Amino acid sequence: MKIFKKSIIILSLITTFSCSEYLEVVPDNVATFDIAFNSRYNAEGFLFTIYSYCPSQANLGSNPAWRGSGEAWSNPYQAENQFPLVKGQQNVSNPKYNEWDGDLFVALRDANIFLENIDKVPDLDNLEKLRWVAEVKFLKAYYQFWLLRMYGPIPIIRENIEVGASVDEVKISRSSVDDVFAYIDELLLEAIVDLPEQMFNPIEEYGRISKPIALAIRAKILTTAASPLFNGNSLYVNFVDENQEPYFNQVIDPTKWEKAKLACSEAIALCDTYHSLYEPINRGFVALSDSTLNKLSIREAVTEELNSEVIWANTNQSGHTLQNESMPIMDETVGASVAESVQRSFSPTLASVEMFLSNNGLPINEDKTYDYSNRFDLVENSPEDHSYYIKKGYPTVKMHLNREPRFYGSLAFDGSIWYGHGIDSDDPAGSWYVQCKSGQVGSKVNHWQYSGTGYWAKKLVHPKTVVKGSFSARRYYWPVMRLTDLYLLYAECCNETDNREEAIKYVDKIRMKYNLPDIVNAYTQFSNDPNKPASQNGLREIIQRERAVELMYERQLYWDWRRWLKIDAMLNQNIVGWNIDSKTAEEYYIPIDLYAPTFSLKDYLWPIKEQTMLKNSNLVQNPGW
């Protein structure tokens, strides 16, 4: 937890020019670098500085994945400037989420400086040096992967340009996506050799890169490389370099899936030694119901610090702001000034709510026992057997009934039970529940602090977070990679390489955690398409749906839907929520179109800033921009 303690000091020493100048100017502050490597203490600070560039994945404002996928919305005031990718506001004059001219190329420069100078440190043990070098190589690979996902072909930054280089030498070119992926993998393989399997001081070193982390991230990167966006993407046949060579390969290479599957298998073999699927426990002398424990299985897998399921957490980013955005007001005794400290505007969309499965483990439109066509019909009194999910006797809609535990663990909505918030017992009679129709405690009271859809992402709020005398959030570090993510990547690769039995096995491991029927039995007994798991296309849909549900609201779906070349379908449908300004359930539960997103082929890749293009004539702009 202390890995960034010296980074600010060192950062002030080395960032002597702006981020946007990196690809144009060669740093010449050699004296400063001599100071940075004249002792172990200073060199460690430099290392932590390279860690500090890790993208802000838990920040709603700076991570496009939060608000670019259509899985969440906001209210009109908050949405005005917060959903540029969904609103078609991307542009070349001032690109949104512009990482090309941001910190990541500076991070790559600093990583190279570190690797070039680490041998100068006089008091550094050789084993520790090897570990630090491995960490920096991993971070160098990860930062290039982040850029690659956004921009496609990027310049490969093997080493820094020498002082005195000519103008032409500074104007570097983009490399093909295959070449970039190959270089990233080269770095990762070099790093993995010298990374520790586990931390000797887990509390002090939590968040630093280990061998399990590197193997898991390598599995994700190689699965991305095998996916349709980067593997045989004929949409970019005319996107070519100065030699008329395509930046994207044009023929699907099935061996990429085999390579990714092997990487996933190797990662699982080691990660299973140190990690396990999270199982919540009872609180002291309080015995919780199975229903509550099932809900906590997903919620605390994200929010419980140091839990067994998190492979890599970014200790530079906590979930404080996310919790503030994702929690409704439920306590009527909370004063206005305290209530105003809670933003509560991160709003899951109706489309994402429908993605969750039925209690039979099937999409609700594929479960023959689920009344899908009448899902918006009002139920005047929620049934008693849902009392751990919805306030007994509270009006709701059929769509909120008979859903899987992840539905109730991930979402809050009008009438839903909220476990925690200062209460250890889950007795339904004494539990908090949401009331958000007009005039109720959780409803809209001003024009900027409320859910625009009628849902909140409860999954992102720790059960110990409370709003009483103030907003008091139970801290947790953002989970970059969970074990379920890795299992689902492996299942995907197995299906793509015709090993459906193994694919189903690893999806079922996750479903078992929530007491859901295994895939084959679920489809055999309850599906209107019982043979779906038997085909590659059918199982692909099942696995993709499982990833969507398991990783919903974790800034993951955006990247998945892009690599699958499916995000255009997701975003070419209206953003829908409930009629939240209504006082009665009859009027409240009317679906309302909130926005019509804009997405086209060009939006799969970020544009490079026009001014940056003018400065470097060797750069080729991404298609459509």
3-state secondary structure 241-292: CCCCCECCCCCCCCHHHHHHHHHHHHHHHHHHHHCCCCCCCCECCECCCHHH
Do 7-52+99-256 and 275-574 agree at the fold level? Answer: yes
* Per-residue confidence (pLDDT) for residue 202, from 0 to 100: 81
* Predicted pLDDT at 61: 80
Q: Is 75 left (phi over 0), alpha (psi -120 to 50) or beta?
A: beta
Residue 151 CA to its chain's centroid (Å): 18
Looking at domain 275-574, its CATH architecture is Alpha Horseshoe (1.25)
Q: How far is CA 57 from the centre of its chain?
A: 7
What pLDDT digit, counting tens, does each position of 384-419 carry? 999 999 999 999 999 999 999 999 999 999 999 999
Element (H, E) at 586: helix 585-588
- Partners of 482 in the beta sheet? 310
Please give the average per-residue pLDDT across 550-573, as a whole number.
94
Give 373-404 as a DSSP string.
GGTT-EESS--GGGTTTB-TT--EEGGGSSB-
Residue reference for tokens 């996902």:
149
pLDDT in tens, 103-131: 999 999 999 999 999 999 999 999 999 99
Helices (H) and strands (E) in the chain, counts: 25, 14
Fold classified for 7-52+99-256: 1.25.40
The reported pLDDT for the residue numbered 72 is: 94
**CB atoms near residue 611 (< 10 Å):** 12
180 is written with which tokens? Answer: 């970039």
Residue 78 three-state SS: helix
Least confident of 307-321, 410-424, 440-454: 307-321
**pLDDT confidence bin for 163, thresholds 50/70/90:** low
Domain coordinates in residue numbering, the chain: 7-52+99-256, 275-574
- pLDDT at residue number 572: 87
Q: What is the pLDDT of residues 414-445, one digit of tens each?
A: 999 999 999 999 999 999 999 999 999 999 98
- In terms of residues, how long is the chain? 625
User: Is 447's pLDDT higher than 60?
Assistant: yes
